[in-house]
Structure 1
């Protein structure tokens, strides 16, 4: 511990000296939680950060005066330089007379209470944090869902965990804590807090990559954007591992059933203390608490002065525009958070950062096949349903007419977006079925920020989109109206025919290579990763399980397909063996007949009859050969 950080750490008692709560898995720039916290914290506000959080969250709150409430002394030493003050104790260690403009408990309340002091329980911790909130202040609280998606798909039961992080587990029978949103709203109301907004967190409570407004999930059940956001969050890197069933499929089904908010792994609730107008009090926001000598404090700044600061100005501007409907983080490591806001004319994109990640020269310099330009997210979010979902629904219902209409419309739309050279550039080069929404007969790219570095041929783009869908259809075990003996490339060719295009296997192979290069760019893979990915994609078979998380349900379906394939191959092998056996028996019968005929009198007479003819034929050949040699010029004559 340095002399600079020592005064910032208060030890009122109850600290855990050999324990660390800081998360091992961290999202770039703190992820959607940090972006949401930046909305809730105005410039110059006094903030109490209760519990362990990603250090990147403190960096996003540099425009405020942050006090960290931790129970781990090593964590306090690690965060001392990022906060104005760190209190290492349980909630009882907070001074009774201190009030804060914003209280953030984005890691829940279980990790706030120390085992070295008096135990208050979940409700007692909430009461203490609510008491530390000034009138009109804001509380950002995370509550884990005991019936969340992460528990429904977990391969190991939640109650059997033995790791250090699970030394306290909250079950559904714990009456001390709420088990759903209604109970949480009731608890907050009893404490004089009004829940103004609630966000469903996917795919895991500790590392959410998508925060979506719970009311929007209930209202917009057919939204293509929400479909893609939940599917992407539950099938991305944060959702890797072994599960019981595909969480992405279950999340999308819950969305269509209007239950995505109820099945969310966790909820983040923004509540305000009633009595005074919601929002920070400028006078209270300017107050500072007494700090030990040498401790850095955030000086109060007016809004105009804060606007001159980049971080604080951005936060103030976003806060003035209202809370977003969704905050989603996708793409390679380091990608920013994309926000969607609800405006008078509908949902609109709002990039969390104005920085362009990968300009026009970057892809050529790094030889990436695709790059992201968050600056392109400035218009309305396209309305409609996700094309992939409509195609899957048509396949499950064997609705060939709908499939033909959708695929031909998709192919015509792609052909109408070509440039002067007849190729597809920009976002249209990456317009696969999982990034295209359909509204009636109109097609549109859902996320235009991802762009192809170089223009691609129309057939290659179409084949890539159809190959991705064919791979998901076959490896996912979905029922479809075509023959079950098709491989992925063969089904891609069939889908191309349904779309009105005569695709061949070389075109499909080129599309697979393009898919490997684009996926490597989207996920930030290095050269070795790109080579491994290309090899993996070229080897995809219908009997393989889907890529991504290993689902027991999908592994069983893959095993059943492999068993059917082995049964078919065994039947084919048996038929081949029977055919060879019958041919061998026929040959044996023919050989026996020949041997029988060769010993008969007629056979011997025939051989005697044709023997002179064979001798004469051999003599004629010998005479012809000698005559040719006699007539050939001698070597001396040729000189």
Structure 2
């Protein structure tokens, strides 16, 4: 495409003709959902830097101008926006103002190497100047001490790829390195920082935006616990890391540091306006964090719908930003015999408060608190029994495991009721499935627990069932694994062959396997240590068996030698001569006895025949 075929593309100077900032794995649907909430219809919006195409889909009601440094990126979006400028920040026309300016990729992706370099503060000042009085700026800042840096296997400062020609973070004193410094820079530029969000799991991939103030206050929130774990597990899937990012993020949450360790932050800032000045279209435009969502989560990972959590008078509640797209659940999953289906209207309603059951169970195992474990598991088993009808469970309760249940005192509740069972499931199977999943996580993750280390996943499941007050054998565990494979196939969209393969894979899980998800060096090392311990145990058992066989063989040889020795002695020969006549006499007596018995039997048989003849 050229400028003749894309008249909406302007080249004021400083364009990078062959450079593209788009990355295949990038995505930021939560930002798109937030922007759709903030940007009113007809507003003038400036997108500074590269953005996820989902943002353009969410802002079809606005007039969009894109500021990009790479011409290929500009040509790709030219037909979807009103205007595209290919330049650095200096390419913005002086005096041109916008209602909302969005720099969702940060300021590093705005500057061009083909023009004058402004620096971070000057680039911010140029974008702030483009915000009309009362307008808003959405700015992202990467965290040089985020989870992604702490678990990275490769050093961030040794990159040689084309996309790593800028060095950000604490080494450059001219740019902010944390959220407080960013607020100070915004205030110096004439902006008032409002709501701020921690973006997880990676700077180039955001599937969860969590309000930083709520992260600092609600450190035991089951919702934040589940969101951080799911986001980091899926966001780092297939990557080799030093440590489990999900474990690190959840631990940071409980320590009140989840916001500080976020891979990046998103700040909503507002330009000061005279309180007496009113915009005829939008009214006074100063909007604080009040009314903005507590969390924006891409349920199920990239490519799925973004759901919001809003804070209301009755507490937190689920909210979908696109209620018009809701449809009723179709009957197709039932006809196709899938074990589970996704409710298109869920999640909805209040967000249950409490701590995540998985975290409580892990805490009890690490501290060897069997009293706590017994109370939690028996409470969960009793809760399942109370929810059942005729010994079977339906709906979201039948599929909710320890990673989707929150506990508040003695009350249990399903956190996200999106996935529901297609057919009723026995209570014991539902309980065994939850315990099997937790057992697999406990053993493959290398967590310490109060039970013997020789248990396999199925054996530990049976033990946990006993702790819960339920006595089920391995047949119930087999049914639970089969259900887990069927549900997993439905969630992943696998066919029949994929379901069989998943079932085989689940049944082959052993305590020496590393956990699924990112390839963590720590977890791989723990798996290697468990394999070494198991090999040591098997070697010791084999050595004991070999020693036992050797000792028995030696004893047998000594017995054979004694027999051979005795068989050649004079006493043995004399004894043999004395015993031989007795053996012959005994043998003759037995033969005579047999002949006598046969003769008597013959006479008794002949006597009735003679009586019949008479």
**Is the shorter-chain TM-score for this pair beyond 0.5, marking a shared fold?**
yes
2:459 corresponds to which of 469, 476, 490: 490
1:576 paired with 2:545, answer yes
Q: Structure 1 residues 586 and 258 mapped into 2: Cα distance closer, same or farther (>3 Å)?
A: same
Q: Mean alpha-carbon deviation: is it higher for 613-622 or for 161-170?
A: 613-622
8 A contact 1:42–1:319 mirrored in 2: no
Secondary structure in structure 1 of the residue aligned to 2:7 = helix
1:376–1:554 Cα change, 3 Å: same
Whichever of the two has the greater Rg, that structure is 2
Q: Give the corresponding residue for 2:135.
A: 137
Q: 160-169 vs 176-185, which deviates more?
A: 160-169
1:523 Cα shift? 3.3
For residues 20 and 336 of structure 2, the distance between their equivalents in structure 1, rounded to whole angstroms, comes to 39
> In structure 1, how many angstroms separate the alpha carbons of the residues matched to 2:2 and 2:41?
29
2:182 is matched with: 184
Q: CA deviation at 1:565?
A: 0.7
- Name the Cα RMSD after superposition: 2.8
> 1: CA distance between counterparts of 2:20 and 2:439?
46
Matches within 5 A, 1:142-161: 142-161=140-159
Higher-RCO chain (CA-CA 8 Å, sequence separation at least 6): 1
In the alignment, which residue of structure 2 is the partner of 1:9? Answer: 9
For each residue in 1:543-599, what CA deviation from the matched residue of structure 2 results, as whole angstroms up to 9, or x when unmatched?
A: 111111111111111111111111111110010001101111111122222223333
Could you tell me which residue of structure 1 aligns to residue 312 of structure 2?
343
Secondary structure of 2:79 counterpart:
helix
* Matched ranges for 1:12-23 at <5 A: 12-23=12-23
SS in 1 for 2:422: strand
Is 1:505 the counterpart of 2:503? The answer is no
Change (3 A) 1:524 1:351: farther
Residue 388 of structure 2: aligned partner: 418
Pick from 82, 98, 108 the counterpart of residue 106 of structure 2: 108
Residue 397 of structure 1: CA displacement? 1.1
- 1:469 aligned partner: 438
Q: CA 1:172–1:527 in 2, change beyond 3 Å: closer, same or farther?
A: farther
Instruction: Confirm whether residue 534 of structure 1 aligns to residue 495 of structure 2.
Output: no
Q: CA deviation at 1:521?
A: 2.5
Q: CA deviation at 1:473?
A: 0.9
* Structure 2 counterpart of 1:253: 251
> In the alignment, what sits opposite 1:208?
206
Instruction: Check whether the contact 1:331–1:523 (CA below 8 A) recurs between aligned residues.
Output: no
| 1:620 CA drift (Å) | 8.8
1:252-271 superposed matches below 5 A: 252-271=250-269
Please give the secondary structure, in 1, of the residue aligned with 2:353. Answer: coil
Deviation at 1:490, TM superposition (A): 0.4
Matched-pair contact (CA < 8 Å) for 1:336–1:352: no
Output the CA distance in 2 between the equivalents of 1:36 and 1:615: 108
CA distance in structure 2 between the partners assigned to 1:220 and 1:481 by the alignment = 30
1:327 to 283, 286, 296: 296
Tell me, in whole angstroms, the C-alpha distance in 2 between the residues paired with 1:357 and 1:480.
Answer: 45
Distance 1:378 1:384 in 2: 17
Match of 2:337 in 1: 367
Structure 2 CA distance for partners of 1:320 and 1:176, relative to 1, 3 Å: closer
Secondary structure in 2 matching 1:209: strand
Which residue of 1 is the match for residue 576 of structure 2?
603
Q: Conserved in 2, the CA contact under 8 Å of 1:357 and 1:373?
A: no
Measured in 2, the distance between the counterparts of 1:279 and 1:45 equals 18
Please report how far the alpha carbon of residue 238 of structure 1 lies from its aligned counterpart in structure 2 after TM superposition. Answer: 4.6
**2:13 is the counterpart of 1:43:** no
Q: Deviations over 1:142-174 (max 9, x none)?
A: 000000010001111111122222121213120
Give 1:608 shift.
5.2
Match of 1:401 among 368, 371, 376: 371
**C-alpha contact (below 8 Å) 2:352/2:406 kept by paired residues:** yes
Structure 1 residues 273 and 6 mapped into 2: Cα distance closer, same or farther (>3 Å)?
A: same
Determine the C-alpha separation between the residues in 2 that align with 1:395 and 1:162. Answer: 44
Per the alignment, in what secondary structure is the counterpart of residue 130 of structure 1?
helix
Aligned to 1:306: none
Instruction: Give the 3 Å change call, closer, same or farther, for CA 194–229 of structure 1 in structure 2.
Output: same
Shift of 1:418: 1.1
Indicate if the aligned counterparts of 2:47 and 2:102 stay in contact, CA closer than 8 A.
yes
Report the Cα distance in structure 2 between the residues aligned to 1:497 and 1:102, rounded to whole angstroms: 59
Q: Match of 2:86, SS?
A: strand
Normalising by structure 2, we get a TM-score of 0.91
Q: 1:475 to 1:345 in 2, by over 3 A?
A: same
The alignment partner of 1:127 has SS state of: helix
Work out whether residues 329 and 344 of structure 2, in 8 Å CA contact, stay in contact via their aligned partners in 1.
no
Tell me if the contact between 2:26 and 2:204 (Cα under 8 Å) persists in the aligned partners: no
Q: Give the structure 2 partner of residue 376 of structure 1.
A: 346
Separation of aligned partners in 1, 2:132 and 2:336 = 51
Moved more, 228-237 or 61-70: 228-237
Tell me the CA shift for residue 240 of structure 1.
3.5
- Residue of 397, 403, 418 corresponding to 1:449: 418
Residue 16 of structure 1: how far off its partner (Å): 1.1
CA contact (8 A) 2:428 2:476 kept: yes
How many Å separate the matches in 1 of 2:505 and 2:457? 13
2:232 aligns with 234
Q: Residue 436 in 1 paired to residue 405 in 2?
A: yes
C-alpha contact (below 8 Å) 1:512/1:537 kept by paired residues: yes
- Counterpart Cα distance in 1 of 2:524 and 2:216: 32
SS at match of 2:192: strand
TM-score calculated relative to the size of structure 1: 0.88
CA–CA distance in 2 between the matches of 1:494 and 1:213?
40
Task: Give distance in 2, aligned partners of 1:562 and 1:278.
Answer: 72
The size of the alignment, in residue pairs, is 596
Structure 1 residues 510 and 582, CA gap change in structure 2 (3 angstroms): same
Aligned counterparts of 1:319 and 1:532: Cα–Cα separation in 2: 51
Residues 13-46 of structure 1 show CA distances to partners (whole Å, capped at 9, x for unaligned) of 111111111121144xx52121112122111110
**How far does residue 477 in structure 1 lie from its aligned partner after superposition?**
1.1
> 1:29-108, aligned counterparts within 5 Å?
30-108=28-106
